[in-house]
Structure 1
Amino acid sequence: MTVGDWPLLAVALPFVAAALTPFVLRYAEAAAPYLLCLFPAAIFAAFAAAIPGIAAGQSLNCGIDWLPAVGIRLSVRVDGLSSLFALLISGIGTFIVLYAGAYMKGHPGIGRFFSSLFLFMGAMLGLVLADDLISLFVFWEGTSIASFLLIGFDHTRQAARRAAFQALVITGLGGLSLLAGVLLAGQIAGVHSLTELLASGEALRGSPLYPLVLALFLGAAFTKSAQMPLHVWLPNAMEAPTPVSAYLHSATMVKAGVYLLMRLNPVLGGTPAWESILPFVGGVTLIGGALLALRQTDLKLMLAQTTVASLGLLVMLIGLDTDAAIAGAVAYLLAHALFKGALFMVAGAIDHESGTRDIRRLGGLRRAMPVTCAAAALAGLSMAGIPGFFGFVAKETLYGALADLRVWAAIALAVCGNALMFAIAGQVALRPFLGAPRATPRHAHEGPIGLWAGPLVFGAKGLAIVLALPLAVSLTLGPAVNAVAGHPVDLTLHALPEHVELPLLLSLLTMALGVAAYLSADRLRSLLDTLAAVLKWGPDRGFDQAIAALLRLATLVTRSLQSGRLEAYITATMVLTALALLVPMTVHGEWPALPVWPHLLLHEWAIVAIAFVGLVAVLRARTRLTAIVSLGAQGFAVATLFMLFGAPDLAFTQFMVETLSVVILALVMTRLKLAERDHRPLGQKVIDGSIAGAAGLGFGALLLRVTQTPFDSRLSDFYEANSRLVAHGRNVVNVIIVDFRGLDTMGEIAVVMITGLAILALVRVRARIVIHKEDDRS
């Protein structure tokens, strides 16, 4: 690995931090969060140093061979899009570590929490930087597993366990969809990496399998980015500690699906399916999430539902597939990461210092928590889209894209959704701090620096970007838009409107509707509660019903197939064996020719006769014990034939098997006191005999067909040529058994030994039972 491979080191660094976390917490104690935050800070610094080169149009590609035999590399790609995501993941992650250190101070599971957090950070970095398709899937699943650990961190609560399970199931299904998608797309295009896949857009879009590929990738993206009706896991994930909520909802987990859609836009976009499915699903999610947010009274749940709405807005913009819409999506992506991360931290700080997140019990906190109030105001103004903040720039950009298209349905959805989010911004950022102070479970006061440093920085960042907007466009936003569009885009953003046009009018309409919604929030909440009481069903309840139905189906299948009767298991096994042997030979016309009558010597005929007599004796035996002994005689005769025809190793195995079989079956008969005779009715005997005959016919026909094919002597020639040279043995059979097939032989010996021990245990246990019974009688 060279200096140019530093992106690989950046991906590995969080995993190193996860391993070192217990030691840092043990020896650094109170200073541990400040030391641990240096890991994501170093990653942020590395990607920040690469910004000028990325902005100049360069891309970094590096990797190491993972499975070279199948062309799989652990490779990364750093371009405008992945660089923006990496900066958000590491930059916000730095303050999340500081915030978590203050929020969870003294918690007994803080070490486990930080380790899981760094695992998640590493998986998310790997996801947005991965270039190899299989690596993309591996890191994608890594985020699902790590989020499961984080959401279910407080595993003593049933609600946390359910939320973690729900998130794992839904996003896990999306992971399977992604795996199928990358395999199918790679097979169609004949590639293994995203770089190659993005260069084969026409081949993929022109394939008759394009609809299936699109459906698979959309399934992955919609589950991860919580598009309705698959959104239910995201609000329930609020059972996680607030640092997790802030991280997952601002720059990581929920943005993974958006990243996937943005990354694949050049290769999957530009089709009627793309431009109809994404705007529809995104629009529904935007309005649904905003209405659900307005219904909540818990600060975290309100923010969680607005995250659902924001993700719907991003998906809708990506689906419009114009340069202006993509610019609006990228700008809103950055704005949302900043103000949502800040507001989640504010909600956590309020809960930490006052003891509640219920907005009905909060008010007048501006004097008790002035710094937190300032941070909330900055982030809330950006979320509301007030001029002077980057949130306004992002909404103006997306309104400009919608105005250019004149898609009035999308415009209406965007205005209504943003107006509702304006109202929620006021509810979250203003209502807890304004008005008269209210009594809270704990005496509210300003928290330590770790609780307000992140929100204040993120809130101020929404203002600072506007002051340096041309620089932000040229260094970060522009390269990201170019990567999503798949071609250079002349991006120009304005901090303030230059003319009174439709985008400005839409912004003003959004603010007016937002103010009205804020003032009537309680009445709207009551109306939505009434509507929810009438409907009485939703995707969250549907998830429980689906899991319950799955369990009932599993129980039914288990009871049907696992009856507990050995006879049923053997019958099913033999029926399937007969079908597997006979059906293919019949369908494909592979039945063997009739064999030539063998020319045997007198003693060989004698052995055959013994085997035949043993078989007849088995069929005509009146007791089970007689059948067992007769079966052993027939098996010994077959083993003797093997020995006569030059297969001593096979004969030895057969002798051992027959000996053990007779001994075991005899012990079963004598020790377990089974019935001496077979009491099955004649009809059952005919059915069982037919099944046994069919299986025997299948095996016999298969063996005959195999022996009638031309003999391939390559393996025999190899053994003959190498037994003396490699194994230094003159007896080829011994060399094969001991050297070339040594593990196989050892396995056979182990089986025999385990069987013998089992027989011994059976005898001894049964003997003890008999002795104890006799003692009881006496």
Structure 2
Amino acid sequence: MADVTALTFLALCLPLAGALAAPLVIRILGANGAWLLAAAPLFAFLHFLRLLPQIARGQTITGGYAWVPSYNLSFSWFLDGLSLAFALLITGIGTLIVLYAGAYLRGHGDQGRFFSFIFLFMGAMLGIVVSDSFLMFFIFWELTSITSFLLIGFDHEREAARRAALQALVVTGGGGLCLLAGLLVLWNMSGVTQMSQLIGAGDLLRESPLYLAALILVLGGAFTKSAQFPFHFWLPNAMEAPTPVSAYLHSATMVKAGVYLLMRLNPVMGETPAWEILLPFFGGLTLVVGTALAIRQTDLKLKLAYTTVSSLGLLVMLIGFGSDHAVEAAALYLVAHSLFKGALFMVAGIIDHETGTRDITRLGGLGRAMPLTWLIALAAAFSMAGLPPFFGFLAKEEIYAALAGGDIRAITFTAITVFGNALMFAVAFAVALKPFHGRPAQTPKIAHEAPILLWLGPAVLAVLGLLSAVFATFTHAALSSPIAAAIRGDPVEIAISLAPHLGLPLALSLLTALLGIGVYWQLDRARFWMAVFLRAAGRGPDHGFDLAMSGLVRFAGRLIRFVQPGRLEIYVACTFLCLAAILIIPPILYGELPHLPAWPADVRLHEWAVFLIAAFGLAAVLVAHDRLTAIVSLGIQGFAVAVIFLLFGAPDLSFTQFMVETLSVVILALVMTRLRLSPDDRRPPGRRLFHGALALVCGLGFSLLLLRATQAPFNDALTAFFNAYSKTIAHGANVVNVIIVDFRGTDTLGEIAVVAVTGLAILALIRIRAGSERKLAANDPDAVGAGE
């Protein structure tokens, strides 16, 4: 067990190590460094593959390290059929993507930076699917948003890439905040902070009055990450990223993070009316919208991106449908989609890399020049279309078995699924056939077969799509059934295979194929009518996002101009206004006003003299006609307070007060004499009245606070502590000095830093003044004297 824990920890850290090593490896080995870098995810893949038999027997693996035990926070992981399947997809496809990117970006000046980003993303996504701790899960969730922002905006010199990256970050980051709130609510409802413990709290969550709030918040995070309508628009725009990013983040891994979250929470939040209404509704709507928009596109990557949106909608719909067969279908389609969509994205990248274009209307006849790529594309398209003998066929059959029924709900969602799958059928063969058959087209580059690193990845995924269906019994026992068991929360045994099985699901598959062939046959006409419909429907959520961001920028600008008008007087007034509210309002609300103290009867003459001097200084400040007089008069207050400290037996404090007041008066006088300021106060009477009232309220607030503090029972615990330990620990007889220098050393250092910064600011003001005078004197020698 200790060996598994150590190796799992190493597997989680390897992608992060790869991110650190990638720039150096690429600098030394160039594009060939991809072979070495691929060893990191390959090791992690082999480690997780080694755990497959144990997980297939129904066991789970937990481990980790305590982080903050007092708050039950830990760096912990939880592996069952679902998390292990995702870990295998992330590391396995990640290995192929690293090799693919080595060839695709050969010669690119920022290849090292790209590999760092892709490894960071790989580590973040791996962290999501194996996390047991809520905190660890959320940290990795947000890290995927940040790393995808970096990858989508990799070609940052293009405005479209920058916009797409920002859009993805805003949408998924906003959803991440919803998820954080949802996790906190789940914590409050269940009292646990571990996924493995949450799975057993299903009835507790479903019966809680906070269930609906938690569900909506969780769906906000899942729907934004997995591009569900109306948040679907960010994923197609993310195709501005290099093709290896599209093949990895936006087909096989990141966009399935939301699906993973819903699958993980199905045992504890599923089987409720809200779950079984919201998920199928938004999933079905996303399925239809995604496939319809895919038909309209002519860019290969955009066509695949919109079908990814529709496939995610199909998965969400199945998770929420509520039947056992739907869970099994979701498990099968999860694996099938990762294999065929990753392969097709890489095929689209090969076509773009070797011909210089992805526009399907400018491609044709590539089958003669690129036969191997065509064969790979056909194999992946067969699986995407749901045709035997590929794993996609088994998934589609199970989908129809799950949805088919006699009630209106089943009929509605079956019709939606047939329509969506038919359009996906047409898109699959539009990608796999249109560019390769017919007469050769004139392309920007002369087409030829891709190098091995480009076709190796899609070939492996296409072959796996075939072998997993041919050896379906082994696939189900090792992978599909454990996934479905984790989603349901109970043991599951999937038995579907390529063996002939007549019935309604097969009939629906045949209907899907016939409709798909019809749409493919009339693809140009379908594209035209879809464009007409979209123009009539008006601008969609993508334009709405631009309007929202533009409105946010305008609102922020107006808000900044309101709260930051550039006048120091307003800033100071607002600061003191807030200070007055903090000092006055809470004591009144909570009944903490002090009692009015009794006037002492034994005040001596010299003490009265000190108070009279302070009052004289206050009057002098109020009647002063220029700033310099006011500053000097203000010093009288400080000296009077210092004398009071001295009279009441605090010579150290009195000396400090004398020094502070002297330095303050000298510095303020120095600054005021060096700056070009009006000699007197020119504020209008109304503003002077407001500022005076504000000063009185702040002074009253501090007086009330000090009175309330002195009337509270004295606690001498700190006094006893400092008296006991000043000599033994700090070796100082002067307790005040020891407190300032030793016990509060960091605080004192901060105060010194503040004084130093203030001194620098004063020096800057004086130099600005001196510099402006020199410049003015150089231009007009008489101007300086005139301005004084």
Asked whether the two chains share a fold, i.e. TM above 0.5, the reply is yes
Moved more, 278-287 or 587-596: 587-596
Task: Give the whole-Å Cα distance in 2 for the aligned partners of 1:248 and 1:761.
Answer: 50
- What is the one-letter code of the residue matched to 1:275? E
- What is the one-letter code of the residue matched to 1:4? V
- What is the one-letter code of the residue matched to 2:578? L
- What is the one-letter code of the residue matched to 2:531? D
Aligned partner (choices 773, 777, 781) of residue 777 of structure 1 = 781
Task: Give the whole-Å Cα distance in 2 for the aligned partners of 1:771 and 1:419.
Answer: 80
Moved more, 429-438 or 225-234: 429-438
Cα 1:41–1:513 shift into 2, 3 Å: same
When normalised by structure 1's length, the TM-score is: 0.97
Cα 1:119–1:762 shift into 2, 3 Å: closer
Partner of 1:81: 82
Task: Give the whole-Å Cα distance in 2 for the aligned partners of 1:164 and 1:772.
Answer: 47
Q: 1:674 Cα shift?
A: 2.1
Answer yes or no: is the 8 Å Cα contact 2:390–2:470 preserved in 1: no
Cα 1:352–1:682 shift into 2, 3 Å: closer
Task: Give the whole-Å Cα distance in 2 for the aligned partners of 1:714 and 1:139.
Answer: 45
Cα 1:593–1:403 shift into 2, 3 Å: same
Aligned partner (choices 589, 604, 616) of residue 601 of structure 1 = 604
Moved more, 113-122 or 743-752: 743-752
Partner of 2:41: 40
Task: Give the whole-Å Cα distance in 2 for the aligned partners of 1:767 and 1:429.
Answer: 74
Cα displacement string for residues 22-54 of structure 1 (whole angstroms, at most 9, x for unaligned residues)? 232233335312222222121111111111111
Partner of 2:519: 517
Task: Give the whole-Å Cα distance in 1 for the aligned partners of 2:622 and 2:101.
Answer: 76
Answer yes or no: is the 8 Å Cα contact 1:250–1:338 preserved in 2: no
Partner of 1:680: 683
Unaligned runs of 5+ in 1: none
- Equivalent residues in 2 for 1:256-267, closer than 5 Å: 256-267=257-268
Residue aligned with 1:366, SS:
helix
Partner of 2:785: none
Partner of 2:621: 618
- What is the one-letter code of the residue matched to 2:644? L
Answer yes or no: is the 8 Å Cα contact 1:65–1:73 preserved in 2: yes
Partner of 1:550: 552
Answer yes or no: is the 8 Å Cα contact 2:481–2:492 preserved in 1: yes
Alignment RMSD (CA, Å): 1.8
Q: 1:757 Cα shift?
A: 5.0
Partner of 2:17: 16
Q: 1:754 Cα shift?
A: 4.3
1:52 equivalenced with 2:53 (yes/no): yes
Residue aligned with 2:593, SS:
coil
Cα 1:103–1:682 shift into 2, 3 Å: closer
When normalised by structure 2's length, the TM-score is: 0.96
Partner of 1:745: 748
Partner of 1:3: 3
Residue aligned with 2:74, SS:
strand
Cα 1:382–1:75 shift into 2, 3 Å: same
1:240 equivalenced with 2:241 (yes/no): yes
Answer yes or no: is the 8 Å Cα contact 1:77–1:130 preserved in 2: yes
Answer yes or no: is the 8 Å Cα contact 1:293–1:305 preserved in 2: yes
Task: Give the whole-Å Cα distance in 2 for the aligned partners of 1:62 and 1:435.
Answer: 57
Q: 1:306 Cα shift?
A: 0.2
Partner of 2:63: 62
Aligned partner (choices 437, 440, 444) of residue 440 of structure 2 = 437
Task: Give the whole-Å Cα distance in 2 for the aligned partners of 1:757 and 1:525.
Answer: 67
Residue aligned with 2:683, SS:
coil
Partner of 1:538: 540
Residue aligned with 1:76, SS:
strand
Task: Give the whole-Å Cα distance in 1 for the aligned partners of 2:406 and 2:690.
Answer: 73
Unaligned runs of 5+ in 2: 783-788
1:448 equivalenced with 2:451 (yes/no): yes
Q: 1:106 Cα shift?
A: 1.0
Task: Give the whole-Å Cα distance in 2 for the aligned partners of 1:769 and 1:437.
Answer: 73
Task: Give the whole-Å Cα distance in 1 for the aligned partners of 2:121 and 2:771.
Answer: 56
Task: Give the whole-Å Cα distance in 2 for the aligned partners of 1:241 and 1:139.
Answer: 23
Moved more, 262-271 or 526-535: 526-535
Cα 1:596–1:405 shift into 2, 3 Å: farther
Give % identity. Answer: 57
Residue aligned with 1:250, SS:
coil
Residue aligned with 2:62, SS:
strand
Task: Give the whole-Å Cα distance in 2 for the aligned partners of 1:137 and 1:346.
Answer: 33
1:162 equivalenced with 2:163 (yes/no): yes
Q: 1:497 Cα shift?
A: 4.0
1:731 equivalenced with 2:734 (yes/no): yes
Aligned residues: 777
Answer yes or no: is the 8 Å Cα contact 1:397–1:493 preserved in 2: yes
Task: Give the whole-Å Cα distance in 1 for the aligned partners of 2:244 and 2:776.
Answer: 65
Answer yes or no: is the 8 Å Cα contact 1:363–1:437 preserved in 2: yes
Cα displacement string for residues 651-685 of structure 1 (whole angstroms, at most 9, x for unaligned residues)? 34433442343234323432223222223333332
Task: Give the whole-Å Cα distance in 1 for the aligned partners of 2:322 and 2:328.
Answer: 10
Cα displacement string for residues 436-474 of structure 1 (whole angstroms, at most 9, x for unaligned residues)? 222211111101011111112211211111111011111
Task: Give the whole-Å Cα distance in 1 for the aligned partners of 2:299 and 2:505.
Answer: 33
Task: Give the whole-Å Cα distance in 2 for the aligned partners of 1:321 and 1:294.
Answer: 30
Answer yes or no: is the 8 Å Cα contact 2:405–2:411 preserved in 1: no
Answer yes or no: is the 8 Å Cα contact 2:342–2:458 preserved in 1: yes
Task: Give the whole-Å Cα distance in 2 for the aligned partners of 1:753 and 1:107.
Answer: 48
Moved more, 490-499 or 68-77: 490-499
Task: Give the whole-Å Cα distance in 2 for the aligned partners of 1:738 and 1:220.
Answer: 49
Task: Give the whole-Å Cα distance in 2 for the aligned partners of 1:13 and 1:725.
Answer: 49
- Equivalent residues in 2 for 1:134-173, closer than 5 Å: 134-173=135-174
Q: 1:387 Cα shift?
A: 2.4
Task: Give the whole-Å Cα distance in 2 for the aligned partners of 1:90 and 1:120.
Answer: 11
Task: Give the whole-Å Cα distance in 2 for the aligned partners of 1:763 and 1:436.
Answer: 79
Cα 1:506–1:656 shift into 2, 3 Å: farther
Task: Give the whole-Å Cα distance in 2 for the aligned partners of 1:692 and 1:685.
Answer: 10
- What is the one-letter code of the residue matched to 2:3? V
Cα 1:326–1:647 shift into 2, 3 Å: farther
Cα displacement string for residues 347-382 of structure 1 (whole angstroms, at most 9, x for unaligned residues)? 111111111111111111111101001000100011
Q: 1:615 Cα shift?
A: 1.2
Residue aligned with 2:367, SS:
coil
Partner of 1:96: 97
Task: Give the whole-Å Cα distance in 1 for the aligned partners of 2:61 and 2:461.
Answer: 28
Answer yes or no: is the 8 Å Cα contact 1:388–1:496 preserved in 2: no
Residue aligned with 1:115, SS:
helix
Answer yes or no: is the 8 Å Cα contact 2:24–2:112 preserved in 1: no
Partner of 2:183: 182
Q: 1:773 Cα shift?
A: 4.6
Cα 1:34–1:742 shift into 2, 3 Å: closer
Q: 1:761 Cα shift?
A: 5.1
Task: Give the whole-Å Cα distance in 2 for the aligned partners of 1:222 and 1:768.
Answer: 59
